[in-house]
Amino acid sequence: MAGSRLERFGTVFTRVRDLIRSGVIKPKEKPLWYDVYKTFPPKRAPLHVKPVTSPSAKKQEIVPEIFYSEDKIRTGFYEQYGRGLRALDLSKSNFVSTCQRFVDKYRELKSHGMLDKSSLFEETGKALLKEGIILRRRGAPPVLAESRDPVLDLKLIDMLAEQQSAGTDTTKTTEDKNS
């Protein structure tokens, strides 16, 4: 069975076609796939492309970067709240992550009329907290809805300073110190 082994010259089809045309391959011996290829050719002829050796051939970017308008909101979210407390579950195709919920709530509030970016962020955070999602700011303890009990913030040193400035006698301060 005759053949042509020049894979860098023309395509498989052109080589076989020319061999049939010149009579080297008899019409009875033509390969099985020849008619099928002729009727349904591929989108691009499988020609061999020489590898480009010079690195400075062309530098333009043909493949565009994919960015969405929601990416700005997402960057704001990730900057403020870090990676988010809930992990992403990629096995489910309809999974909504914390960031996505933030983005949806943000857009909802924006459509209601609020325009200021920083206020929108605050409002979205509060709205999500109302729904039950806890967001932790980067480097800070979790944001709580109501403020802490002021008694817990009292430091012993401040208490003692107050007591001293109030003018109590030394015995009472020593008692306080010991207790």
Partner 1 sequence: MAVRALTRGLLGFRYSRAATVASPCGGHHYVTAPSAKPPQPQAGDVTEKILNQPLEKADFFRVAELFSLKDLFDARVHLGHKKGCRHRLMEPYLYGCRLDHDIINLDQTMEHLQLALNFTAHIAYRGGIILFVSRRRQFGHLVETTAKDCGEYAHTRYWQGGLLTNANIQYGPGVRLPDLIIFLSTLNNVFQQHVGIRDAAKMNIPTVGVVDSNCNPSLVTYPVPGNDDTPAAVELYCRLFKMTINRAKDRRKQMELIHDVPSSSWKTDFNEATKNFH
One-letter amino acid identity for 165? S
Nearer to partner 1, 44 or 148 (CB): 44
Name the site residues for partner 1 (rule: CB under 8 A). Answer: 3-7, 11-12, 15-16, 31-33, 35-37, 39-40, 42-43, 46-49, 52, 62-66, 93
CA 29 to chain centre: 56
DSSP per-residue codes, 105-163: HHHHHHHHT---HHHHHHHHHHHHHHHT-----TTSPPP-SSPPPGGGG--HHHHHHHH
CA 16 to chain centre: 49
- The minimum distance between CB 49 and partner 1, in angstroms, equals 4
- The minimum distance between CB 76 and partner 1, in angstroms, equals 17
Nearer to partner 1, 61 or 149 (CB): 61
- The minimum distance between CB 150 and partner 1, in angstroms, equals 46
Q: Which helix (H) or strand (E) holds 98?
A: helix 98-112
- The minimum distance between CB 13 and partner 1, in angstroms, equals 8
By residue count, the chain amounts to 179
Nearer to partner 1, 22 or 40 (CB): 40
Nearer to partner 1, 63 or 115 (CB): 63
